Amino acid sequence: MEENKRFRYITLLILIICVISVSLILIVPTFFNFIWNEILRNTFVNTDYFFRFITEFGGTLIYLAIFFILFWGVNKNLAKNLLIVYVASNFVNFYAKSIIGRERPPESNWLLIGASHLSTPSGHAQSSSAFWGYLALKSRRTIMWILSIIIIILVGLSRMYLGVHWFGDVLTGWLFGIIILNVILILETPIKNFVSRHNIIIIYLGLAILGLVTMLLTETFLPIEYNFGTPGGQMIGLGIGFALEEKFVNFDVNKNADKKWKVIIRILIGILLIAMVYLVIYLLIDTDIYWMNALHYITTLVLGIAIWPAIFKKVNL
């Protein structure tokens, strides 16, 4: 009991420090001067394509790929929690950017990539901090901690090097990610207790409804140029997908664990299928329209979470 109290106090202290740090960064103009980006570029000369590659480790496709690999072949519950953490981070990032309202560095400073929406906090820095940080916490392995910290730092630096974020964006992104992780650590046990007492399918459908209602309200009442289709669609997709999988599929991730080739085949075919659907839909629809953007993610997630597992269960993969 004393250990739990100590843990809560430490977690709350970290939260307070992070919130104070974010507040201080936001009011100090120096953190939003492009000189930091120039220092980084002068330090790592001719590494444009290296950082262009690294920045993808903080992007949606990598996160979805890792989620599906874990979900189909490694640890189903960890994958579910990881996706919820990622989507929750996207929700927080969207509203944080909207409230802070800071513009990105001038486009003339961008390298190799484009960017949309507002600047602070950096979505890539925040998502990498929350996603890879959660993986490290749950794995409890030194190598995973080292790998996660390296990726988190490099992804944040890549956003600066490529010129689409200020130094302050990256710092606040990392801090927001730490805040999210600590909130999760505080709420994890109460949430587990709540879920154990209620119908999990109803909870998943509730998440889908929450995503839909939040998206509609945001699009109606929040006058910003970037649409809420990404986090809204992701929340709807995971809610519907998890509910369908729980009700009609309920595949066993450990099935065929003794036949590694089957697990590898279902993962490889699944990743190829998801990538094709994701890219085809992206090319066919206008993702600048929020409901189309949402439909993009709903289709991708429902396919990967419920439909593909139903297929590989049927064909004994």
Q: Amino acid identity, residue 275?
A: A
Q: Residue 266: how many CB atoms within 10 A of its CB? A: 22
DSSP state of 165: S
Backbone φ and ψ for 287, nearest 5 degrees, come out as -70, -5
C-alpha to C-alpha distance for 219 and 200, rounded to whole angstroms: 29
Q: Dump pLDDT digits (tens) for 15-40.
A: 999 999 999 999 999 999 999 999 99
The upper half-sphere exposure of residue 23, i.e. CA atoms within 13 Å in the direction of its Cβ, equals: 6
Q: Dump pLDDT digits (tens) for 254-281.
A: 876 677 888 899 999 999 999 999 889 9
The pLDDT of residue 1: 58
C-alpha to C-alpha distance for 33 and 27, rounded to whole angstroms: 13
- With CA atoms as reference, report the closest residue to 60 among 306, 208, 274, 242: 274
Q: Phi-psi bin for 86: left (phi > 0), alpha (psi -120 to 50), beta?
A: alpha
**Angle in degrees, 0-180, between the axes of helices 167-196 and 76-100, rounded to the nearest 10:** 130
Q: Yes or no: say if 125 and 173 are a contact pair by the CB < 8 Å rule.
A: yes
Q: Dump pLDDT digits (tens) for 218-265.
A: 988 886 667 889 999 999 999 999 999 999 999 988 876 677 888 899
Bigger pLDDT: 283 vs 5? 283
What's the chain's average pLDDT?
A: 92
Rg over alpha carbons for the chain, rounded to the nearest Å, is 20
Q: Yes or no: say if 246 and 200 are a contact pair by the CB < 8 Å rule.
A: yes
Element (H, E) at 63: helix 60-73
Q: How far is CA 159 from the centre of its chain?
A: 16
Q: Dump pLDDT digits (tens) for 151-201.
A: 999 999 999 999 999 999 999 999 999 999 999 988 888 888 998 899 999
Least confident among 89-98, 109-118, 293-302:
109-118
